[in-house]
Structure formats: structure tokens, C-alpha cells
Structure 1
């Protein structure tokens, strides 16, 4: 799991270097071996970081030429209203099929990485990044960059839209055991090469999540009703008159 944490750290460090102008737009990143030496990691880890940077629209990989920094695409995160319910439904639809598709192409090395992520989840090590990495591995295992791009953007919405961040934080921290069991079921279906089971396990994961979002939303609405009722009761109550008379 340490290598997986390094993967995201390297993505962030390279993005910082791009933003600072160290690697300007139109320029080429250092070769893979140079980056591996620079960050003291393996070349496969650098490859994973480059894939993520490409998905994020920060670099373009040109065959037999290199990896080039491109102009950052305009962030539309805050331009379109998206609710936590919409995001979760979209994730269920896309990631359910991604899990079913990944069954046919996921490698033993990727299955081992998923298993390491599960161990990290069991130990409570960096749970949020472990969750993100679990879904990233599966989407990458589809060998379909459009699916990988979609899943990465789902996570971008989850991490940058304030309403979604708040909604997810209200439900994710209170269901650690259930979330772990759901991820185990997804992993076992992939390991057993069962596409229908993989799809169903992913759907069950998101079905529980969206129902938890509804429960949290209803509880919040009830709290708001109670708050307003208490304000109204305080405004119109005649308890003080009754008590004074007594």
C-alpha cells in the first residue's frame, strides 16, 4: 500500500512542478527513468502517475516522442449543479459495468494490489485514499481509457464539490465495516472471474451508499423542521403567562 500512496504523492508533486512553471506548457517531462530516480520509486509507479496526469488533462503522451505538458482544461466542476444522489447513481451505472468488464482483463498483479488496498482498509490506513485507489485499479483494469477518465472525474466531483463532500462525509465515516465488506465482495467476484457477481457487488455497494444518503438527508430535514418549530414555539409560546398566573 505504501507504493500506492507514493503514486498519488508523485501525481501531486508533478502537478505542483507544472503549476510552478518548472515544466511549462508545451514542454516535455523528463524520461520515465529520470523521474523514477528523481522520486526514488519504481518505473511502474511513474507510469501509473503519468496515466493519472493524462486522465486529469495535464499531460499528453506522444508515442516515440515523450510526455508533454498541455494547457490545463477549464474546470467545470462548479459550473454544473450535481447532487450527491446524481453522482452516486452515475457511479453505480458506470462502475458496475466497469467491474464486469474488468473481470476479463484484470491481471494477477492488479488483483494483488486490490488485496493490499483491502488490508489497508482493514487496518484503517488512509481509508479515503485506499477507497479511491480501489476504484481506480478496477477502472484501469478495464483497459478502456474513457471509463478510467469517467471514474477519475467522478472522484474529482466527490472531492471538489462542497455539497457532495459534505453529503459523503455524513455517511462514509459511519459505515466502515459495511464498506469494507462490500469492497471484499467486489474483489472476490473479480478474483473468481465472475462478471455478473462483480456487477452485482458494485451495484450493492452503491445502493447501500445512496440509501444512506437518503437517510442522512431525511434526518437533516427533520432536524431543520425541529429547529424551525422551536423558533416558532419560542416566538408564540404563552408558557410564561401561564407560569406567571400560577
Structure 2
């Protein structure tokens, strides 16, 4: 068993705080835990070092909960998945899957973002089944810029991202990191190892592409 699998993320106390956390800022940056330290812990945990796995969990858990809160902020208020549950499920998927050759702290959070996307999509499917076809609605927007895109099912967003990836993989990655994990432009740039301006360029293209796909065609 992988070292990190032997311990489930702490959640009892954090679950009690979720309601209070909802009122806090969703734009807080990731903690300043040293990138080199996180990378070292990731490598040691991958090799089976239990102490490093425990230390890693302590170092990233608050960050993951922050990402989860920002990720949940784009959903309608009637969703049933809580940030703590999202963190737990994403964390377990990360370490129960195939071993990852971790490159950096940013790489870890990028993988976490991908897993949170999968958790949210799976939750959306379960929600649709429970509500007999009424999908979980999300608002795909960047409040600092243009008007929000039309609200749509999270499954539809997932399908659109798969199509966008075929058109422009980097732009799709930016949307995934910003939308499904709530990372800032700076954090996205770090995760993708590109410049801030490159992230903005990809986001502008992706948003325009998504707007075209989501805007109903006018009939003649």
C-alpha cells in the first residue's frame, strides 16, 4: 500500500468549519509552504516514507480546502457536496491511482485540480440521476472581466473542455485550473510553467471559444 494511502485526510474538525469558511474570501493565495520542501515530501511519500506522507498531508491540506471552497463557489447554492468531502475524495483518488512522478509543488496542485474536476463531474452525474434529469448547474465566469457565460450543466462543461482540448490543449488546461480549482492566474502560470501573460492569452481565447459554443444559434 502506498504510504499516503494509509491515512485518510483529516476532516471531522474541518467539516464543522465549512459553513464558516463559505463567508471568507475565495481568492486567497496558496500558502507559502516552500516549493522545494513540498517536492521533497512528494518524492519521499512516493517511495513509501510514512512520516513524509503525514507531513505532506499537513502541509497541503489547508491549501486543498481553499481550492475546494473556490471550486464550489461556482456552483449553485443547492449543491450537496461540501468542500471537505471534495478534498477527501480528490486526495484519495490522487494516491490510490497509479504512482505519479511528481515534478514540483505546482505539479501536485495541478493534479489535484484535475481530480477535483473528475469528482465534480461524477457528483453532477449522481445529482442528475437523483433529480431525474435535472443536472447540476454551474456558472462559468471570470468576474474581473466580461459578463458571465450562460449557466450550464457541469457535465456539459466537461464535454466542452474535452472538445476544447482537441482545439487548444493549453487553453483547456487553463480553464480546468481556473474553473475547477479556482487557481489565480499566477498559480496557473506556476502550475503550467508559463508566463502570466500566456495564461491570460489562453484564458481570453478559451472564454471566447466557450461563449460561441454556449450561445444559442439564431434562426434565420
| TM-score band w.r.t. shorter chain | 0.3 to 0.5
Q: TM-score, normalised by structure 1?
A: 0.30
Q: Which has the larger radius of gyration?
A: 1
Higher helix share: 1
